[in-house]
Structure 1
Amino acid sequence: MKKIIFIIFLLGTFCGFSQKKYPKGENLIDYNKIKFISTNKTFGKVTVIEPFKKSNAQFEIETITQPQFIYKSATSIPIHKQSVKLGRVFLLSFSAKTTKSSLETGEAKINLLFKQSESYKNNIVSTQSISSKWQQYYIPFQSDINIDQNNLGIVLHYGFKPQAFLIKDIKFELFAEGTKFEALPKTEIVYKGMEPDAKWRKEANARIEKNRKSDFKIQFQKKGKAITDKTISIKLIKHNFPFGAAINAKDVVANNEKYKNFKKAFDLAVFENDLKIKSLRWKKKKDQLIEAISILKNDNVTIKGHVLIWPGFNYLTPEIKENKDNPEKVTNLIEDHVTNLLKLTKDKISHWDVVNEAYTNRDLQQITGSEAILYNGFKATKELQPIAKCFINEYGIISKGGLDTKKQEWYYNFIKRIDKNTGGLVDGIGIQSHIGSDLTPPEKVLEILDYYGTLNIKISISEFTMDIQEPVIREQYTRDFMIAAFSHPNVSEFLFWGYVEDDRKKVDIYKKDFTIGAMGKAYFSLINDVWKTDFIGKTNDKGTILGNGFYGTYEYSFVDGSRVVKGEFQLNPNQNGIINVHIK
């Protein structure tokens, strides 16, 4: 199997380079030939940026059509080849930035292949995300076999979804024998506001105390008399604030380890694919979905619907595209789908992503000549599921460093436009939060949430993921992002897009073996510790206990003679008066 290492090394506004000195290497790049680099024109192109300068040549690499295999779009970097013994260390370095992206992070991706032999088994690959602004990248390699002169090489593979990126100042250095891999420069991933005493975090924690907690008074009585001088344990067992993740119906129906671990962590579920129009074409999948919904309801898991209308051909059935010249037919097909799905799930869905990713998916709007087909989705939802809340969902709002103000402004106005044209049917907005290598500083996250908060509707952190694999940063940034979101009064839920680590490596609440992952360490440390209310109190002469805690469902327990008495009570926002508990 090909050896793969996942390295994301950055340097820039939110990333710092460790400034330790390192030995000078021999640069193997053949700058006389670099002007002539190329790629398979079937799938993309390489453009040398003029004026051409050998030592700091700049070129743009573009994938126009995604090939079946990533390596079909490739560029070999010309180098002065030589034989190399096992254990020698190399450093590939360059500056790059993304100019076009199909990913929700707004970034391009490259596989950087360190070629050691003709056998793919001996090649080492580093998968690199490219920032949307100029960043410096350092990728070290170490030979683990003796390399023949003809085999040594560096190859860029970029056969991903359509994308483009600029690259310049490329070097490929070979270091003297005996140089340690650890001696090479290593970029430390940092972000503004990560310091332990950051002001934003102190302010956020203060808002959490204000917005997510309150004082309460609970009075215990038995047969109309106060239970006095009684030691009672009181603990939060379920947050009022929903935390959730994307799931698959097949896991729920199978009641497998994935679903069992889901229930240990979350009380809100969103189906990753099962409610989408393409999945619902198949009776087997529809039956599985209905069974999964029933199981979730019995397990007291809230279900968010995703998605009623995703207006791009890539996410619609072939029949839609086949009728692209027939607006009336397309309108009827979409309206029938929305109606049937709402009837199928009536009284089972808490809230819906009615429209998803309309910024880059506009095929339905173009076919029908307006956004009315989207507005009608909101109207149908309120008519057929009047209790369900209606959300819009979009990516690229908080990701990419939070710097895409053009898209942020478009989304803001789009939300207002839909609300106006539906008579105020927008209940909430989804901000997906797929975080790439540009770690959006928590202060920037809060600034963006404040911006959308002026709309005075709910905000869902609807699809949180992270591309960075370095576990310490992965854990810390997840924790900081959650603190920022939980502190904002408009944020009404927090969902991860997945929860068990898979080949995409974007979420690891649990690792594949169901041990706790880096993101899971952050998540559980917050909901089970920092944001947990658990105390022992003693009733006074009126049978009351005073407390302060997070909103949610509480369990109380105490010993009454020879028995242990247990029960539950609710602490809700804007709840006034004494909570009365009557013991039989």
Structure 2
Amino acid sequence: MKAIVILSALFVFGINVKAETELLKNADFESSSFSGNWHANDCLMTTYTEDKYHGSKCVKITHRHHDWSGPRQIVAVDGEQWYSAKAYIRLLNMPAGVPYVTIEMMAVLTVNGHNKYKTVGQIHMQQEKFGWTEVGGDFLTPNGTTAATLYVQVHNATINYLQDFSSLQRITANSNWKSEANSRISALRKAPLTVRLASAHSATGISIELQQQKHKFGFGAGVQAAMMTDPNQVPYQNFVYKHFEWAVIVNALKWRLMEWTKGHINFAKPLNAIKVLKEHGVKIRGHNMFWGVDGHSPAWLNGMSPSQYISEMKLHVQEVINHTRGTLEHWDVNNENQHGDYFERHTGDPDITAKMFQWIHQQEPDVKLFINEYNVITNSQCTTATRNQAIQLRNMGIPVSFVGIQGHFHSSDINIDVVKYRLDKVAEAGLKIWITELTVTENDANKKASALSDLLTLFFSHPAVEGVMLWGFWDGAIHHAADKLFEGPNFTPNAAGQVYLDLVEKAWTTHYTHTISPHGNLNTTGFLGDYVLNVKRDGNLLHQEAFSLDSTGKQLTVHLTGDQHVSHVAFG
């Protein structure tokens, strides 16, 4: 049943799941004979039928002496090839006082006769109560690779576990990916528009303009709060207002930076920026309520008891929401939780992240709550772990709305098929996705332009993705100079910046003009979002009407009076 639920999520999003050849022998342990397939390495491996993830059997792993003790299999592989690997694990016991453990999928590659170890994927806070859980990821074999040995590493040798439904498959290159992506864009992001002219038998010189004002898909960028209100930064502000429909304040809402000294909270800086952004129609993401990585919470929390930590955390949520209620669309709840267990350790509560979601939801039920994580699509370290966390929170009844995926690509050398595989993996959780922090670090602007074009096309075409946020954009306010898309005092686009403008503001924005005759129909398609309809006669504006286009499409009938003025526009 678990596998059926996951596949259902993929079908709901319209994701094409292509079956590849399974490279493991006895991958799901349905055969009780392990000759020629699985090897019990420093453990006792027995067939087990009282529980399983898939099929009728799994294996039970006991008598372990090391983290790496467990079943492993050697498989012949090729060099310079991408592979995906996974296994399902169920922990059977936990040592006293240990709330969670780290599990890793490992691959030992034989490269020119030497062993090279790769961590394929990690889960850092696996609890026994989570039950059957996938661990896995993907890896690239270097030139000269002839074999891969796959095994799971459970970081406590006293833990026994079950293993089932393991897999190793190639990630095949799709030479048609971009044409398929553009077809998905037309199907997912556009809808039919029909305009009809009625009640004017002798009308002449009438033209219809459809001008898209906003996108349903979220296009935006990270902004500096102080610069949004600095009278010396008007060009920066105007650029934001002109080119981005969404914004995220990159630092000023972070707890440590807001409340460096206990009780002295700088609300003015973020709130002033939020105010001007909203006045210009820009929607805003809240980043972030908590940050689970050590060094990113107020230092004055150190030394407090677990109950004091929880009291201060609840107070922080209450104070922040009291000041921001109704102004933010999203909140990143516990930033980068797969990379840090600061709050779990200091509160002594392994489920404290779930409680954070509940506290914020209780204070402001309408704001959308996010996981926000890195090493999800840039590598596979946390791809499966992020998917798992989304599933676990949903299973617990926690109000998680979206998965936020940071996308800090440290090179323009990007395998788009692998990125899609990772997106598809996260989408198995059944939640929609935002790319919350997109950068491509590349000094060659043309290489960066090509990579950015591919990434934006993939994201805009993916049925689970609903928004993309650039993490900075201008060389005057960016963390890494090689990430810049716009340069100098005039915000001149480099090759990558021009790609962004050409795609978002031209290729993926609808501007349509056509003449129309009495009782004639204009049939076209438009990108989903908010529009203005302009009705003109001989170039002079007769009427203007705002409307929104959703996936069901829109029919508009323009009614003219006898003197060729517009009486009204009917929507059908």
Q: TM-score category by the smaller chain? A: 0.5 to 0.7
Report the CA distance shift for 1:495/1:14 in structure 2 as closer, same or farther (over 3 A): farther
Alignment of 1:528 onto 2:505: yes
Alignment of 1:295 onto 2:276: yes
What code does the residue aligned with 1:479 have? S
Greater CA drift, 339-348 or 548-557: 548-557
- CA-CA distance at 1:14 after TM superposition: 9.5
Q: How many angstroms apart in 1 are the aligned matches of 2:343 and 2:445?
A: 41
Choose from 200, 207, 220 the match for 2:177: 200
Alignment of 1:231 onto 2:207: yes
Q: How many angstroms apart in 1 are the aligned matches of 2:315 and 2:292?
A: 15
Greater CA drift, 241-250 or 571-580: 571-580
What code does the residue aligned with 2:400 have? V
- CA-CA distance at 1:210 after TM superposition: 0.3
Q: Which residue of 2 aligns with 1:504?
A: 480
Q: Which residue of 2 aligns with 1:273?
A: 251
Unaligned runs of 5+ in 1: 1-11, 16-57, 59-95, 100-130, 136-191
Q: How many angstroms apart in 2 are the aligned matches of 1:448 and 1:226?
A: 58
Alignment of 1:360 onto 2:339: yes
What code does the residue aligned with 1:500 have? W
Q: Which residue of 2 aligns with 1:311?
A: 292
Asked whether the equivalents of residues 195 and 557 of structure 2 are also in contact (C-alpha less than 8 Å), the reply is yes
- CA-CA distance at 1:577 after TM superposition: 5.1
- CA-CA distance at 1:493 after TM superposition: 0.4
What code does the residue aligned with 2:384 have? E
- CA-CA distance at 1:408 after TM superposition: 1.6
The residue matched to 1:432 in structure 2 has which SS? Answer: strand
**Cα deviation code 1:10-66 (max 9, x no counterpart):** xx9599xxxxxxxxxxxxxxxxxxxxxxxxxxxxxxxxxxxxxxxxxx9xxxxxxxx
Q: How many angstroms apart in 2 are the aligned matches of 1:358 and 1:581?
A: 53
Choose from 383, 395, 399 the match for 1:420: 395
Q: Percent identical across equivalent pairs?
A: 25
Q: Which residue of 2 aligns with 1:252?
A: 228
Q: What's the RMSD between the two structures over aligned residues?
A: 3.2
- CA-CA distance at 1:226 after TM superposition: 10
Choose from 386, 394, 409 the match for 1:411: 386
Q: Which residue of 1 aligns with 2:329?
A: 350
Q: Which residue of 2 aligns with 1:117?
A: none
- CA-CA distance at 1:200 after TM superposition: 0.4
Q: How many angstroms apart in 2 are the aligned matches of 1:344 and 1:496?
A: 26
The residue matched to 1:459 in structure 2 has which SS? Answer: strand
What code does the residue aligned with 2:179 have? K
- CA-CA distance at 1:561 after TM superposition: 6.7
The residue matched to 2:343 in structure 1 has which SS? Answer: helix
- CA-CA distance at 1:301 after TM superposition: 0.2
Report the CA distance shift for 1:322/1:209 in structure 2 as closer, same or farther (over 3 A): same
Asked whether the equivalents of residues 412 and 441 of structure 2 are also in contact (C-alpha less than 8 Å), the reply is no
* TM-score normalised by length of structure 1: 0.62
Equivalent residue runs for 1:113-128 within 5 Å: none
The residue matched to 2:439 in structure 1 has which SS? Answer: strand
Q: Which residue of 2 aligns with 1:477?
A: 451
Q: Which residue of 2 aligns with 1:369?
A: 348
**Cα deviation code 1:427-469 (max 9, x no counterpart):** 1001101101373311222222222222221100110111221
Q: Which residue of 2 aligns with 1:8?
A: none
Q: How many angstroms apart in 1 are the aligned matches of 2:216 and 2:484?
A: 24
- CA-CA distance at 1:132 after TM superposition: 9.7
Report the CA distance shift for 1:468/1:561 in structure 2 as closer, same or farther (over 3 A): closer
**How many corresponding residue pairs?**
399
- CA-CA distance at 1:494 after TM superposition: 0.3
**Cα deviation code 1:548-581 (max 9, x no counterpart):** 1111222333433784235243343233552345
Report the CA distance shift for 1:488/1:568 in structure 2 as closer, same or farther (over 3 A): farther
Q: How many angstroms apart in 2 are the aligned matches of 1:426 and 1:244?
A: 22
Q: Which residue of 2 aligns with 1:431?
A: 405
Asked whether the equivalents of residues 235 and 533 of structure 1 are also in contact (C-alpha less than 8 Å), the reply is yes
Q: How many angstroms apart in 2 are the aligned matches of 1:355 and 1:332?
A: 17
- CA-CA distance at 1:517 after TM superposition: 2.4
Choose from 363, 385, 403 the match for 1:384: 363
Unaligned runs of 5+ in 2: 1-78, 83-113, 120-138, 144-171, 560-565, 568-572
The residue matched to 2:518 in structure 1 has which SS? Answer: coil
Asked whether the equivalents of residues 290 and 335 of structure 2 are also in contact (C-alpha less than 8 Å), the reply is yes
Q: Which residue of 1 aligns with 2:372?
A: 393
Asked whether the equivalents of residues 202 and 518 of structure 2 are also in contact (C-alpha less than 8 Å), the reply is yes
Asked whether the equivalents of residues 474 and 487 of structure 2 are also in contact (C-alpha less than 8 Å), the reply is yes
What code does the residue aligned with 2:544 have? G
What code does the residue aligned with 1:293 have? I
Q: How many angstroms apart in 2 are the aligned matches of 1:552 and 1:270?
A: 20
